[in-house]
Structure 1
Amino acid sequence: MAMHIHASWSEGAASMHGHLDQATRAGIDVLWWTEHDFRMAEHGYPNLVHMDGPAEQVNGVAWSWAEKREGTLASSRVLWDKAMASPGDASTPGSVRLSATSAGRDAAAARIAASAANTVSQRSLYDQTIEVDVFPAEVSPHACLAVVVTTSWRPATAGRPAGKYTLTYLVDGTQGKSRSRSGLNAVVHLPARQGRWNTLRMSPAEDIARFWPDLENRDAAMLSLTLGAVSEKERPVDGWFDLLRISRPARSADDSLRVQAAVMAGYAARFPAVRQYQGLEVSLIKPTHVNWYGPKITMPTFAKPRPVADPDPAAALAVIQMIHSTGGLASYNHPFGTGRPAELTPAGQDALRAAVAKTVLADRAMGCDILEVGYPSRGGVDLDRHSQLWDVCSRNALFLTGTGVSDDHSGQNWLGQESNFVTWAHAPSRDLDDLLAALAAGQVYFGDPARFSGVVDLLVDGAAPMGSVTTSTAATRTVRAILTGLPADGFVRVVQGTVDLAGVAKPEPGTTFTDIPASSWAKGFVDLPIDTRAPRFVRVEVRDRTGRAIALSNPVWLLRDTPNGGIPAARCVR
């Protein structure tokens, strides 16, 4: 299962098309779409930009324009002009003047590229209309004003190469609307009178459908938006832009989820090997984002008018309760943060692990069911420290199912990228109920699908499966480690820890480990005697000859009595 995937309703280059192609190639047969909730809803997104300067606040969100030059220019200018404004924007005087003259026959340009805080300048193009006012002062077929919309990356299809698709809207003095296409690039000539203000109206999703009818046009995001003055053959171009508007018809909060479901249904016939499920990443809460897996996904209510996180812990707890009330499961995502910086020093990683462990223990992971463990590196922290954070939870009878995820936003090279972990479930089918039951019970394992394609499982005393919590007063118990597909020159690390409820005062994993050669699994299993005179948890890791962890089991807990919080029903052995 690919359990944390973003496509054209989130930031990043990915399309659903690209991810489904990658899942098929990688042999991953379940994919959960976990778009950011506020991005799907475009909650608080900028929709009217006055363009009275290179930076402004729109709906309380910082919006800015960055200058770009392309090709060889004899002259160019980007001028924020307070003396010139569209009649539709007279109350907020100002516009941007773009001028360019190429130094030869080849095209050259002066452009400005849009960006916004938290990348909210990127958005789904489904049903989207873009309008901008333009004053062409000097344009011609070789000297034009341009609006360029770069859209989502897609795999090679219909004889076209893989890549991002681009729509270019030109004002060049021609008064008829015409269209042309070459490969992944399409051009629309828009009529606009010189020497006066005009409003350009663009519907990129509709144009995608016209130019590339084989594509699902609702599966497209605006990755970038640029305005420019483009010159070739030394012809001068000059003009103003003002009052950018981005809009779509008013609909219910759940409309984007319904559209996503329709797109999923359409892709199901094209990618029959991949079972798709709707999830959602609830993102405007603290201390971290939460993935929602379940049968009744709806758009949450947003506490603030702007797309910023609500720091109130009660807001996060309410989200978890809502997820559980619908029969869903909640995942505590990327516990060390969303960034992907260089790894900290070992001491720095240990300190951060301890600090995060205190937070997770203090509120019992907000009541989440799942912890994202399987990141080779995330937030400056390696996989071992992610696993150790999980062990701290296990030590404190916080029973969380560990998963491996990619949090992929690109839809390209699933197997080759560093963050490529997936999760495998011991479930009777790929039906939603069976997968949710396996996740709730901890009957899953996770790892690197480029390096491991075997099976990992645990069985306690011949009866209790991986993920189970059992009690016994026996001094010794047996955990059978069932493993196949091991690297011949690798080894299995058996990780054990005491369930001593050490609490936030001692946020350390307290584990020991034993390494056993992979050759010991010639029969497919090894029975491990476990000293249970004190309560224990046990899990295993598959490692290659370099010591890299390529697959991890979920734990089993071997307790001597029932903990104060009880044992989750899904983990009980009946």
Structure 2
Amino acid sequence: MNYKYYPMHMHLHAACDYGSSMALDMYNASLLGMKYIWFTDHDTRMVRRENEVKGFSFDTSDLMKEDGKRFEGFKVIDEKTDYIINPEEKTLTLNCEGEGDNWETSGVFFASSGTRHTCSLATELTLSVDIKDYVIDSDTRIIFGVKLSQRPPEMANAYMLYVVGEAEDLSGLPHTQIIPSEIKKGQFVMKVSEDVSDEPSIGGKDNAFDTLYIILQSRNGKKASLKVGDFSISRVYYGEELRKRLNTASQKAGEYYGVTPFVSFEISGAGEHKNCFSTKVPVIDYYEYDYNVSEKEAIDHTLKYDGIFALNHPFETKPFKGKGNLPEEEKIKMFQDLYEEFYKNDTYGASLIEVGYPEGRNFPFEYYTFLWDALSLSGHFLAGYGCNDCHRNNKGWFDGNNFAAYIGVDSSLEHPVSVDEFISAMKERRMYTADPVKIKGEIKFETASGEQMGSILNKKEEIINFYAENTLPGWEFRLINNGVEAYREKIKGNTYSHTSCLKSSDKPVDFQRAELYDEDGRCILLTNPIYLTAK
């Protein structure tokens, strides 16, 4: 059988993470020739949160309420903002008096620790502000500005502006939807998810609510004031229903950019983080279980629905946080402890592991491949891949930790290839991981008889061929045998090939894998190993 390896990013946070959009990720993917993409938002951002922010009341003399490291409330847009808080009335009053022809502004915007107030517009979001009083006329206006996600191609945030007053000068702003509004005392209701435009420049429900601006403007010597009470945030859909709605939103953007999206989630509320690679596994409802779900229960839930999962960023889990600058001997001890944990627990039943962080991630890049190799030698056959773990659309695509996974499926399959075909290939480790900016041609790592990378062969000896297209002079090939570099060679032309022999040894498992480095010595490709188990 012949195989075609499709590149795809497999760890992206989009419409549940403020600032990001699925459309912009798919725009970036289309620039790199990718036809497939995985979205794995934190499941803890999909479900009803334990400390969910539902609004704010001005019942103290401060704009911001703090409880230890947790906070929520409003911040002024600049030091010129004129405001008064009346905790007895539970109100905030904004005042503004502009002297010239240009608009003068007083305003506030909402913020919270951990961005706990943010959410996807697929939740069916409604915002409301209790209007207590106001003074406006023809040279004043009120703007309730809803900041949304980054949009392609400029990576600029979209905005919905509910404008009370003149809006002509706002109509030409890019990625901005103007909603002419009227105001009266009582609740000023913004049905954000219902009102948002589906135009690609705005993006419809493929958006996250970032913040609300309450802005008062005046000019030509006119005085304006706005007194508001409680601010409230209402959502309807959570969990699995939200994931399904995100999938619907992703399909619209995918059709526009020619990219097929798969919407799953990152298990984030039960032990260390793990990407679930399946579109059939329901999102874990932590709220239903009082936010008390064990790591084993989350894994069992995933496997129950025939899902597979990855061990995410193993050297940036909780035990490793903030310890990237430890002395080398302490890092090695932590590495050994992590290996023993994975070995003892049979890697928790994972099928994949994140290893492709060429810039390092908390710990140096080599620690990730050392761990992978050590697990391979002990008979734990995990598909290694790299990712950008992107939480913003402007990072991890064209530089930095930007590795994509290239997954091999039957070349006779027509596009779009089903998600089940890709999952089957992941289970068989038929994939490599690489920098999609650098790696543009065909990559092969297979036996003389055509067995692909990831294969586990009951043999004592095997000839293995590596081939790469569109290489550049100065790149370097390295062959890894049982975790140790066995060969390296500088590449001189625009193609490169190498043949090696993998032989059985006294180790439980023997393997070879290949690496490519660019002219600056940065890793740009890792194949998955080919294994021998016969003795």
| TM-score, normalized by the shorter chain, greater than 0.5 | yes
Cα deviation, residue 447, structure 1: 0.8
Provide the C-alpha distance between the structure 1 equivalents of 2:524 and 2:182, rounded to a whole number of angstroms: 58
Q: Residue 465 of structure 1: SS of its match in structure 2?
A: coil
Cα deviation, residue 369, structure 1: 0.8
Provide the C-alpha distance between the structure 1 equivalents of 2:518 and 2:254, rounded to a whole number of angstroms: 36
Q: Are residues 1:163 and 2:147 paired?
A: no
- Is the 2:77–2:109 contact (alpha carbons within 8 Å) kept by the matching residues of 1? yes
Residues 213 and 450 from structure 1, CA distance in 2 versus in 1: closer, same or farther, beyond 3 angstroms? closer
Query: Which residues of 2 match residues 398-437 of structure 1 at below 5 A?
Result: 398-412=380-394, 415-428=397-410, 429=413, 430-437=417-424
Letter in 2 for 1:119: T
Provide the C-alpha distance between the structure 1 equivalents of 2:340 and 2:327, rounded to a whole number of angstroms: 19
Picking from 105, 118, 136, the partner of 1:139 is: 136
Q: Which residue of 2 aligns with 1:372?
A: 354
Mean CA deviation greater in 340-349 or 487-496: 340-349
Q: Which residue of 2 aligns with 1:181?
A: 171
Gaps of 5+ in 2: 1-7
In percent, how many aligned pairs have the same letter? 19
Q: Which residue of 2 aligns with 1:527?
A: 500
Q: Which residue of 2 aligns with 1:386?
A: 368
Mean CA deviation greater in 459-468 or 275-284: 459-468
Q: Which residue of 1 aligns with 2:218?
A: 231
Query: Which residues of 2 match residues 44-55 of structure 1 at below 5 A?
Result: 44=50, 45-53=52-60, 54-55=63-64
- Is the 2:478–2:485 contact (alpha carbons within 8 Å) kept by the matching residues of 1? no
Residues 421 and 46 from structure 1, CA distance in 2 versus in 1: closer, same or farther, beyond 3 angstroms? same
Q: Are residues 1:284 and 2:251 paired?
A: no
- Is the 1:112–1:228 contact (alpha carbons within 8 Å) kept by the matching residues of 2? yes
Q: Which residue of 1 aligns with 2:488?
A: 515
- Is the 1:13–1:410 contact (alpha carbons within 8 Å) kept by the matching residues of 2? yes
- Is the 1:178–1:190 contact (alpha carbons within 8 Å) kept by the matching residues of 2? no
Cα deviation, residue 530, structure 1: 4.1
Letter in 2 for 1:140: D
Q: Residue 254 of structure 1: SS of its match in structure 2?
A: helix
Q: Which residue of 1 aligns with 2:510?
A: 536
Q: Are residues 1:327 and 2:306 paired?
A: yes
Deviations 1:363-387 (CA, angstroms, capped at 9, x unpaired): 3332211111112335423322222
Residues 536 and 268 from structure 1, CA distance in 2 versus in 1: closer, same or farther, beyond 3 angstroms? same
Q: Residue 206 of structure 2: SS of its match in structure 1?
A: coil
Query: Which residues of 2 match residues 91-102 of structure 1 at below 5 A?
Result: 94-102=90-98
Q: Residue 244 of structure 1: SS of its match in structure 2?
A: strand
Provide the C-alpha distance between the structure 2 equivalents of 1:300 and 1:522, rounded to a whole number of angstroms: 47
Q: Residue 387 of structure 1: SS of its match in structure 2?
A: helix
Letter in 2 for 1:266: K
Q: Are residues 1:484 and 2:439 paired?
A: no
Residues 488 and 226 from structure 1, CA distance in 2 versus in 1: closer, same or farther, beyond 3 angstroms? same
Provide the C-alpha distance between the structure 2 equivalents of 1:95 and 1:477, rounded to a whole number of angstroms: 76
Q: Which residue of 2 aligns with 1:496?
A: 481
Provide the C-alpha distance between the structure 2 equivalents of 1:114 and 1:22, rounded to a whole number of angstroms: 30
Deviations 1:70-110 (CA, angstroms, capped at 9, x unpaired): 7xx4xx433332122xxxxxxxxx23233333464433333
Query: Which residues of 2 match residues 206-225 of structure 1 at below 5 A?
Result: 206-209=194-197, 212=199, 216-225=203-212
Cα deviation, residue 359, structure 1: 4.1
- Is the 2:121–2:193 contact (alpha carbons within 8 Å) kept by the matching residues of 1? yes
Residues 150 and 216 from structure 1, CA distance in 2 versus in 1: closer, same or farther, beyond 3 angstroms? closer
Residues 406 and 236 from structure 1, CA distance in 2 versus in 1: closer, same or farther, beyond 3 angstroms? same
- Is the 1:279–1:294 contact (alpha carbons within 8 Å) kept by the matching residues of 2? yes
Letter in 2 for 1:163: A
Q: Which residue of 1 aligns with 2:246?
A: 260
Q: Are residues 1:153 and 2:150 paired?
A: yes
Residues 281 and 213 from structure 1, CA distance in 2 versus in 1: closer, same or farther, beyond 3 angstroms? closer
Residues 163 and 285 from structure 1, CA distance in 2 versus in 1: closer, same or farther, beyond 3 angstroms? same
Provide the C-alpha distance between the structure 1 equivalents of 2:520 and 2:479, rounded to a whole number of angstroms: 17
Provide the C-alpha distance between the structure 1 equivalents of 2:324 and 2:439, rounded to a whole number of angstroms: 24
Deviations 1:276-320 (CA, angstroms, capped at 9, x unpaired): 22221121122x2111112413121216888x7x5x7xx222222
Q: Which residue of 1 aligns with 2:121?
A: 125
Provide the C-alpha distance between the structure 2 equivalents of 1:350 and 1:520, rounded to a whole number of angstroms: 38
Provide the C-alpha distance between the structure 2 equivalents of 1:52 and 1:345, rounded to a whole number of angstroms: 46
Q: Are residues 1:106 and 2:102 paired?
A: yes
Cα deviation, residue 541, structure 1: 0.5
Residues 397 and 403 from structure 1, CA distance in 2 versus in 1: closer, same or farther, beyond 3 angstroms? same
Q: Are residues 1:440 and 2:419 paired?
A: no
Provide the C-alpha distance between the structure 2 equivalents of 1:363 and 1:355, rounded to a whole number of angstroms: 12
Residues 214 and 112 from structure 1, CA distance in 2 versus in 1: closer, same or farther, beyond 3 angstroms? closer
Letter in 2 for 1:182: G
Q: Residue 209 of structure 1: SS of its match in structure 2?
A: coil
Residues 162 and 330 from structure 1, CA distance in 2 versus in 1: closer, same or farther, beyond 3 angstroms? closer
Residues 342 and 238 from structure 1, CA distance in 2 versus in 1: closer, same or farther, beyond 3 angstroms? farther
Provide the C-alpha distance between the structure 2 equivalents of 1:488 and 1:206, rounded to a whole number of angstroms: 55
- Is the 1:146–1:168 contact (alpha carbons within 8 Å) kept by the matching residues of 2? yes
Residues 246 and 536 from structure 1, CA distance in 2 versus in 1: closer, same or farther, beyond 3 angstroms? same
- Is the 1:167–1:188 contact (alpha carbons within 8 Å) kept by the matching residues of 2? yes
Residues 118 and 320 from structure 1, CA distance in 2 versus in 1: closer, same or farther, beyond 3 angstroms? same
Mean CA deviation greater in 333-342 or 132-141: 333-342
Given the two structures, how large is their TM-score scaled by the length of structure 1? 0.79
What is the RMSD computed on CA atoms of the aligned residues?
Answer: 3.4
Gaps of 5+ in 1: 85-93, 498-509, 562-574
Residues 403 and 97 from structure 1, CA distance in 2 versus in 1: closer, same or farther, beyond 3 angstroms? same
Q: Are residues 1:82 and 2:87 paired?
A: yes
Cα deviation, residue 51, structure 1: 3.2
Cα deviation, residue 449, structure 1: 0.7
Cα deviation, residue 265, structure 1: 3.3
Given the two structures, how large is their TM-score scaled by the length of structure 2? 0.85
Residues 178 and 148 from structure 1, CA distance in 2 versus in 1: closer, same or farther, beyond 3 angstroms? same
